[in-house]
Structure 1
Amino acid sequence: MKVIRIPQTTYLAVVVLFFCVFFFFAGWPIGLWWLLLLPFGVAWWIERTQTRVSEAGLDLRTVRGSRHIDWAELKGVSVPKRGYVRAHLSDDSQVKLPAVGYDRLRDLIEASQGRIPDLFAAARDAEVREYEERKAAEAAAAAESDEADTSK
């Protein structure tokens, strides 16, 4: 089982947030005590948000709840310009995969053990095919020009 979660270095941002809100709290503790809850809320969000990849499927966990997706329900994934990777399900709905951004997509693909097609390999194969076709066209054009030069 592979667990994909928000990087642990994000807790450094929680520490910075705590110091930022602490100065406001120190100025007026009776009115701004609730600001101290913000860093704890962000830390809880970091700890809770994750996607687990197992033999049974995907287990998605967010602050508001959790959900299980069987491999049979999964049609594919898409990568939006911003935000988390989305899973396309067999009922034509989409689900965000918590903590799986473009930078963690390779981890998701490897953990799925071939159930999610390797998008990076497909792009690499297309580039190789395009390069080979271009080289073949250049070689054919060079051979044609050599043939035209020898016939003069």
Structure 2
Amino acid sequence: MIRIPRLAHLGVFLLLFSVAFPFFGAPEVLWVLFAIPLALVVWVERTRTTVSDKGIDTQTMFKTRHIDWSQVKGLQIPKRGYLKLHLTDETDATLPAVGFDRLGELVVASNGRIPDPFVEPEEEDADAGEEESQE
């Protein structure tokens, strides 16, 4: 399971602390500000990507989705944001909480179904060795 780091709760606590000061000034009106840290706690706890032998389960704050391995066509690595799976029906599915820094965890959890983009294929190494020996 790949999820938002628990250290994010520290940021939510700091936001809660900052929201408290305006609340003490006008409690009748500004009590609504406490909904922001509460929503962030729910987001941190719910957002995750679970990789299993059956497929990939993604869960965001409001949506849950299951993707079978047979539906996965490829992987997209955007410059910013979460990684995306390219599916056989030509759509993309975002993998919540899986950024570029967590790509290694995704490759290991997929048991080889998602290839490691940083490893060169072995065939090219063998072909390169043969060309060098012929010269």
Please give the TM-score of this superposition, normalised by the length of structure 2: 0.89
Map 1:84-123 → 2, pairs under 5 A: 84-122=82-120
Deviation for aligned residue 1:120: 1.5
- 1:77-133 residue CA offsets vs partner (Å, 9 max, x unmatched): 11101100000000000011000000111100100000001111139x7xx96xx79
Identity value in percent: 46
The match for 1:78 is 76
Gaps of 5+ in 1: 141-152
- Choose the corresponding residue for 2:61, options 50, 53, 63: 63
- AA matched with 2:69: W
Q: Tell me, what secondary structure is at the counterpart of 2:119?
A: helix
Q: Deviation above 2 Å: which 4+ runs of structure 1? A: none
Gaps of 5+ in 2: none
Larger radius of gyration: 1
- AA matched with 1:97: L
Map 1:109-148 → 2, pairs under 5 A: 109-122=107-120
Separation in 1 of the partners of 2:52 and 2:33?
38
Separation in 2 of the partners of 1:36 and 1:47?
17
The match for 2:48 is 50
RMSD: 1.9
Q: Tell me, what secondary structure is at the counterpart of 2:67?
A: strand
Task: Give the helix-richer structure, 1 or 2.
Answer: 1
The match for 1:7 is 5
Q: Tell me, what secondary structure is at the counterpart of 2:28?
A: helix
